[in-house]
Structures are given as C-alpha cells and as structure tokens.
Structure 1
C-alpha cells in the first residue's frame, strides 16, 4: 500500500498540488512520470508499464486517470493483484473526479491504496467570497446548483453578484436568478457553438465566439470549466452510445435533461473520441499553466483556440 494512492478530487488545482506533494513526500521527484487516461486508452497499457523494468531511471511514477471507468474484467483483476504485491520502484497514483464508494471494485481499491479525498467545501468558499455582504437564505444552494458544483464558475458568478449589489451589499435569491441563470444559460449556448468551431478548425469564428463570451464577463478560468464540462459530457455520451444506450437512458444515468444529450450529440458530428480527448488534454494543460502562473489567463483561451 505504501506507494499506491487513490486520489478523488473536485478541484483541479488542489489535485495538482496534492500530486506534487505525494511525489515529493515519497521521494520520487527524479522519477519518470507517465500518465494513462482511461477515457483515451485501455488499462492494459498502464499495467504493461507497471510490470516493465525502466532502463532510463530506476523509479517510475504512473498516474492512471478516470479510474471510475474501470470495469469488472481481467485487466482490473490484474490491477488489484498488482496492488497486493506492488513494485517498490513504482509510485502508482489512481485518480478520478467521480467515485462511487459502494461499487465492489472501488471498495477493493480503497482497501489496497492510500485513499485521499480532496473536497472543496463550496458553502465555505462562497461565504468567504461574499464576505461583507448580507446573503439571503437559499442563495448559496442556488449558486452551487446552477454552477454544477464548479468552483471556478462559482467564483466568477459571485464576482458578478458583488458588482451588481455593490451599493446595498444585500444578495437575494432573485438576484441569483436574474444574474446567474441568465448568464449561464446564454453563455452555455455560446460555449456549445465555440466547441463546434474549434472542432471544425474554424479559428476565425471560434475567436468571434470567444470575444462574445468576454462581453458576458465570463473570465477564462470559468470558461475553461464550462468547456471541460461539455467536452467530458461528449466523452461520456460516446461511451454510453457504444453500449447502445438510448438518449433517454443516458440522460437518466447522468441525471441531466435529454435535450442536453440531443444537443451534445450534434457536436459529435464534427469530432470523434480521439479529437475530444485531445481537446480535453490541451484544456487541462492550459488550466494548469494558468493556475501555476506559467501563462496569463487573459491569453489562455485565445492560445487554446489557435493551437487546437
């Protein structure tokens, strides 16, 4: 168990910080690092790496992302077997943003790894952001609900509410419905169109959509959250469609409106699974570079559009 970790998170920045902390505390700073994403490839490739001796460095860090997609098959059994008798020269980190603790596989993973859950206390975060304002009961709940638990979107919307009620310093549920719902609804449609333009490589139209979003005061961090949420939904729909799920079944499984499934499927006319995975990977890299101070967030989405 010593060098086996299971990391469940809801905030990408916290996840990256914890990742660095684990690598440092286990003294794997000089090891080679390889990432495997189960949205893009089979578990088999990661298992092969775990079982293969490295000729370049003695130590290896192997990160397997989206382990919520593990199925009850031979490869998963192989992984559980490895966890019982791991190679001390390997640091294995399993990661996911979605973790059903009642699943049999997940129960086994928790037993055989150092389980760490990084959870953002959204109530506490919102109270801190809105400090100095009188907040009506129900405002925080609505903000969390309408932002789909995305902390970056929450921060962006709280800033708009503070500007809107700067004079009175009182924020009501009606304010949330007036400012946040209208903004998220309209900007989500533009995000949908932006993804389409990026997918078909129409950079000129994509930049126009991006400039339009800026007029809605959507900052780049919040926009990354909206883009990533939509792209990950596309991957989920592809995977469920491969299993012959109907739109209704997918909507029920993911607990979202069937209309959103239908609209998202329209995007899949312009891009395949590999394209979407690449878009997510590039977006995650941009997000990390912003939050680690490597690039200015004002240039981030523009660079993302140009480089995709």
Structure 2
C-alpha cells in the first residue's frame, strides 16, 4: 500500500491530506522525504510542524488555510494525533475542535499538504473523526512487517537503491540485522553503495558488512546450549559479555528463544508448515526455518527443563549482589540439570 502511494507522490500526484498510522516510524520518515522531493521549494526549514498533544488541531487548520508566501504549497506535519485513538480524557492536555476538523476534511486547502501522524498500534474505529479521516485522507498503515511481506519490502528497498537481493539473502539480512525497517534501510543503503550497482547484495556482502545483533548471537547461544554443545555456548556467552551484554537480559532472551522452540515444535507436530508457524507465532520465517532444520534439537521435555532452570537462574541473578556472570556460565556448563 505504501509503495503504491509513494509512486503516486513521485509522479506528482500529491493529495491534500495524509494519515500515517502504526508503529514503524520508517514509513513516516520515508513518506515525508518523498513529499519534500515532490514539492517544489520545500526543505527541512520550510516544513511547518505541530505536536497535537500540545497544540489544538484548529491551529493546524488555520495554518493550512493561510496562503503560502514563497511556495506553491506548504508542507505541514501534525504529529501525535492522539484524538484518533481511545484515550483517557482526564490526561489530555489539549481540547481539540474536532467539529472544525470534520468540516475542513470535506474541503481541505488546495495550497497545503497536511500530514497527520498517529504513531499508535490501533486507532479507535468507533470515533466519528477516525472514520472521516480514513475516508477522506490518504492513509498509510505503518504496520510491522513480517515474513514474506518483509522479504518483499527488502527487495523493493534494494531495487530503490539500485541493487538487488535474493529472498535467501534477505532472510540472512533479517537474521543479522533484525526486523527494524529503519535499521534494514540503513544497511541496504550501505551495501548498495558498496556494490555500486555492479553486483547484487549477496550473503557474502551481508556477512562482511552487516554487524551482528545481540539477538542473533543469543539465537546461536541458545541453539548451542540446547543441542548440548557446551564449549560453543560458553564461548558465545563470553563474547556477549565482552560486548557489554548483561546476564539478566541474556537470561530473558534465552528463555524467549526456548519458548519459541517449544511453540515451533508443538505446531510442527500438529502439521503446521513453516509459513503457517511463522504467521501464527508472529516471527520471521527464517527463524522458524533454522529451528525446523536443526537435527540436534532437544525434545520438548528437555526444553521445558531448560526453561524451568532458567527461571531459577533469573531469580538468583536478581537476588544476588555477587558475580552474576559466573552464575550463568555455570548454568551453560551443566546442560539439562533436573
């Protein structure tokens, strides 16, 4: 949806009102960047910004209806449109004239482009203003991308940067860099510059240029420990400590990985396929693929023992003032304690 709207913007089809909603702020920044490029004489200094948690919406409307001075059209960014979500009215700092906004949406200013940003997971669909905004504004849902949608987005982002990437390489990139679109966009841009359009972004390029995330190392640590490879687990653990990771956080991340392994195994027994498991659990298919391909994966009973033991380690880490690093190290050196 976003890419189709971006193409229209690049082609000069710019609508008077946009609504950007969701949790992926990269979509917000990318849309504003494209609007700046498409609107003549607009730069960062000439963008007019409002925070709707501090400013009533009628000030946005008044600014939009005031003729621009040097530009053909103004670009107005109205952030934190909290009146579109369910909220505690007792905590609201500003009272908005929503009736005025409703009337304005029926006939928005032709000399302004107003972008309302609602950086929330859900909007209150019961509200009249939310319904009208969805009907009359151009809406971009900045939803968290997963699975095949994320892979397609990565390939489109690579293409926009003058390069290309296979689906397998895109999966590896997610494994290395995580699922944040902002981080992925930055890494894709860096690799596209490195290849300079002369070659695709390959797994080798990714391994050489993309720094590993702590989550990736935790995945390797968990897999090594759960498979009984004690020396590998201890080695990875020491690397994580040297990189500044805390034992309490690592314990929580490992427990999360173990729970995921249990869920994957359970759904697999029920006949779920890789894509179905990923969708059901809300994780990237590549993580599911790695778990399903692990021939040394322990049984569910052993995973439950590990999870129970991790709960004990977590309690000790939070109740002791001693050398916490040693507690978790001893845990890795004695796998599957009952």
Structure whose alpha-carbon radius of gyration is higher: 2
TM-score range, shorter chain: 0.3 to 0.5
Question: How high is the TM-score relative to the length of structure 1?
Answer: 0.42
